[in-house]
Structure 1
Amino acid sequence: MRKLLVLAVILLALFAGWYFASPWWAMRSLADAARSGDVAALEGKVDFPAVRRSAREQLGELVGQQRERGGLFGMVPDAIVDRAGREVIDRAVNADSLGTLVATGAMAAPFLPERLRTQAITWDVERDDFDHFRGVGTFADGTPGPQLLFRREGAGWLVTGFKLPPL
């Protein structure tokens, strides 16, 4: 009976260690792969179809906001915006661009405000539930950065989306 109790305590400690440490480890290993330019490692940590869906959703929200304000997208037919957006996202969301997002905080660094282009970005982890967490980026001056959305896959984690901060 005592051996069973010891085994249960050990298993519980291992599970607790995994539960609390694995999101930080996943975020750190993703950031390390991004900084070193390890495309193969990045590809193994990202669900690219899910990330592209996330990008399309954000583009759709942006287009909707522009239409409400009478912006440029209000004059372009939905089918054209949808097709063009899909093509751009399918080509732009890849291991290199995601690596840039993690390493610099932007999918396209030239579009960042000048003051953020040279700042380092740090990442923290915020757990949403057992199967999901967010990697929350913050620039050196405290400006909020992007968020990476992770989903548990077995005992590991995959990036399934991102949220860009309003700039």
Structure 2
Amino acid sequence: MKRLLALLFLTAVVAGGWFIGSRLYAVNDLASAAQSGDSARLERRVDFPAFRDSLNSEVDGAIERREIGGIGSVVAKASADFAIDRFVNPETIGQLVRTGQADGVGIAMRDDEREPVSWRIEGGDLNSFRVTGPDPCGALIFHRDGLGWRLAGIDLDG
């Protein structure tokens, strides 16, 4: 019985270590890839189709909240779709991770633009978590990918 309890305890410690450690590793590896400009590593750390869908949803929600009616709404959404397709690429995501801002999208405001953003992990569950900057006005969202994590979304409202 003591062996079983010891094994259960050890399993819980290992699982907890992975749960916390893998999140830290994913965020730090993404930040390191962004700092070094390593596009190949950024492409492995970011789920670009999911990120594009998430940003599209955020922008569509903002357009609807502004209550642009009829053809104006259609034009605004089409323009947003075009801009998002151009925005979501390794260079721009790298800049967003490095500085908290890119091409008019900001999720972390800072006083000193020369220093990289220091990201904080916030909440989440077994399949996702959020990271915010020092003065958050938005968040990056990571989703589980096997035993690791990939950047898969953005929350512009924080």
Alignment TM-score > 0.5, same fold: yes
Please name the residue that 1:91 is paired with: 86
Structure 1 residue 124 and structure 2 residue 116: aligned?
Answer: no
Please name the residue that 2:133 is paired with: 137
CA RMSD after TM alignment: 2.8
Cα deviation, 1:17-60, whole Å, max 9, x if unaligned, reads 10122211111111111111111111111111111111111211
Please name the residue that 2:97 is paired with: 102
Unmatched tracts of structure 1, length 5 or more? 68-72
- SS in structure 2 at match of 1:129: coil
**Compared with structure 1, are the counterparts of its residues 31 and 146 closer, same or farther at alpha carbon in structure 2 (3 Å cutoff)?**
farther
Quote the Cα distance in structure 2 between the aligned partners of 1:124 and 1:115. Answer: 14
Quote the Cα distance in structure 1 between the aligned partners of 2:100 and 2:5. Answer: 47
- Which of 125, 142, 146 aligns to 2:138? It is 146
**Compared with structure 1, are the counterparts of its residues 38 and 10 closer, same or farther at alpha carbon in structure 2 (3 Å cutoff)?**
same
> Are 2:130 and 2:141, in contact at CA under 8 Å, matched by a contact in 1?
yes
Quote the Cα distance in structure 2 between the aligned partners of 1:5 and 1:12. Answer: 10
Normalising by structure 1, what TM-score? 0.79
Cα deviation, 1:95-128, whole Å, max 9, x if unaligned, reads 111111110001226989x974626321010121
Structure 1 residue 80 and structure 2 residue 72: aligned?
Answer: no
- Which of 155, 161, 165 aligns to 2:147? It is 155
Quote the Cα distance in structure 2 between the aligned partners of 1:136 and 1:97. Answer: 18
Higher mean alpha-carbon deviation, 17-26 vs 77-86, is at 77-86
Paired residue total: 156
Quote the Cα distance in structure 2 between the aligned partners of 1:4 and 1:122. Answer: 41
Normalising by structure 2, what TM-score? 0.83
Quote the Cα distance in structure 2 between the aligned partners of 1:150 and 1:102. Answer: 13
CA offset at residue 77 of structure 1? 2.6
Quote the Cα distance in structure 2 between the aligned partners of 1:157 and 1:36. Answer: 20
**Compared with structure 1, are the counterparts of its residues 117 and 54 closer, same or farther at alpha carbon in structure 2 (3 Å cutoff)?**
farther
> Are 2:63 and 2:77, in contact at CA under 8 Å, matched by a contact in 1?
no
**Compared with structure 1, are the counterparts of its residues 32 and 146 closer, same or farther at alpha carbon in structure 2 (3 Å cutoff)?**
farther
**AA at the equivalent of 2:113:** T
Unmatched tracts of structure 2, length 5 or more? none
Quote the Cα distance in structure 1 between the aligned partners of 2:129 and 2:57. Answer: 19
